Structure 1
């Protein structure tokens, strides 16, 4: 994973106006050929392949067949473009059905974001603690809060639980995406990497010094971690359920 980037680095007024469709129509450039939506969609296509470090206004302009300066009449700079990309991608998150319970709604929130991060790995390059304040991002968060409001939690606990689930999903997705990117960039899969180090366990590892790790290795537990996301999500939701039950 490339070094972290930050949302909200552009001009706040211009970014928010673009996010909420209040920026108006450009007065210069190829007005009939481009829209902000098309610029953002093209930038996402590039970032899905090359990451944010491979994204530039020049590359977007080239893909669209216009001059770079023309692009600035739609989006001021890369900083504002990243904010728009984040919110547009988050718009892919499905909303919960009416009448579903808190657990089903939080589980949907978690699974949708897990899949979102794998479709758009570049999203994990942007630190998550500064929201872009776009309509799609706020809607997804509001839906998750609503699940907990119906469960009877107070406002502070609502925020705490959503942050817990969101942090779990983001952390696991980062590990998963890092693994896939490492294989793609090095040409060596995780299995191949570990196979090349099999000698360590045979020549250097002292089983008696690490009894718990030895037990796990003997049970071949690491090779059965394909469902690690499911296991952790279920335990997270179980913990929330227990917290709700203990509150009465």
Structure 2
């Protein structure tokens, strides 16, 4: 049976979801498809290219229909959907963070987000950098959420650091949805 690039990416995402990002390799994808490794290489050329295509497929899970009309609400909803797309795949944030995928789905999400920010009256540079800030914030928080955060927060000892001692219950919080909404609101506050 002939395989396509889409088949290779779907197989890579299956390996990702079953075994995690560390298990994704050209050989693992070939095994998942039941083909020789050269078939995978033919379609994706390199491990880096496979990562870009996987990242774009993950971001392809961001629906851009039925968005709110107001720019701030629209931008916030796009980023919420972005986070949901990352969380829909085991290690999704790590895969996306490890790439710079200038691919169709990724570009469509960026277009919608930057467009919302421009509609809010942000100058081009501010819109671009706010877009990056929202993406980086979401990737970082989602990576933490997906990487067994309890190993960081459990029995956290800060020593004689008064500010950290005061804030420790909040720093050690695993309330990721609340932390996400807080950061999102702060980043979308008008300048």
State the TM-score, normalized to the length of structure 2: 0.82
Mapped pair 1:83 → 2:34: no
Query: Is the 2:93–2:139 contact (alpha carbons within 8 Å) kept by the matching residues of 1?
Result: no
Shift in Å at residue 70 of structure 1? 3.0
How far 1:113 sits from its partner (Å)? Answer: 2.0
Q: Could you list the per-position Cα deviations for residues 42-85 of structure 1 after superposition, in whole angstroms to 9, with x for gaps in the alignment?
A: 10111233333311222112211222233333332322222211
The Cα offsets for residues 149-197 of structure 1, whole Å up to 9 and x where unpaired, read as 21122221210111121121122112222235xx6xxxxx667x42xx7
One of 208, 215, 235 as aligned partner of 2:186:
235
For structure 1, the residue ranges without an aligned partner over 5 or more in a row are 1-29, 184-188, 244-248
In the alignment, which residue of structure 2 is the partner of 1:61? 30
**SS of the counterpart of 2:45?**
coil
Judged with a 3 Å threshold, the aligned counterparts in structure 2 of structure 1 residues 107 and 126 are, in CA distance, closer, same or farther, namely closer
Query: Which of 72, 81, 86 is the matching residue for 1:103?
Result: 72
Give, in angstroms, the shift of residue 212 of structure 1. Answer: 3.7
2:122 maps to what in 1? Answer: 153
The CA distance in 2 between the partners of 1:75 and 1:211, in whole Å, is 52
Question: CA distance change for structure 1 residues 222 and 82 in 2, over 3 Å: closer, same or farther?
Answer: closer
Q: Is the counterpart of residue 176 in structure 1 residue 145 in structure 2?
A: yes
> In 2 relative to 1, CA 94–210 (structure 1 residues): closer, same or farther, beyond 3 Å?
same
Relative to 1, partners in 2 of residues 1:236 and 1:70: Cα closer, same or farther, differing over 3 Å?
A: closer
CA contact 2:78–2:113 (8 Å) conserved in 1: yes
Give 1:5-154 correspondences, 5 Å limit: 30-31=1-2, 34-97=3-66, 100-120=69-89, 121-125=91-95, 127=97, 131-154=100-123
- Pairing partner for 2:132 from 163, 167, 170: 163
TM-score, normalised to structure 1, is 0.65
Gaps of 5+ in 2: none
Q: Which residue of 2 aligns with 1:12?
A: none
Following superposition, the deviation at residue 114 of structure 1 comes to 1.7
Highest RCO, 1 vs 2 (Cα 8 Å, sep ≥ 6):
1
Q: Secondary structure at the match of 1:92?
A: coil
Greater Rg over alpha carbons, structure: 1
Shift in Å at residue 210 of structure 1? 4.4
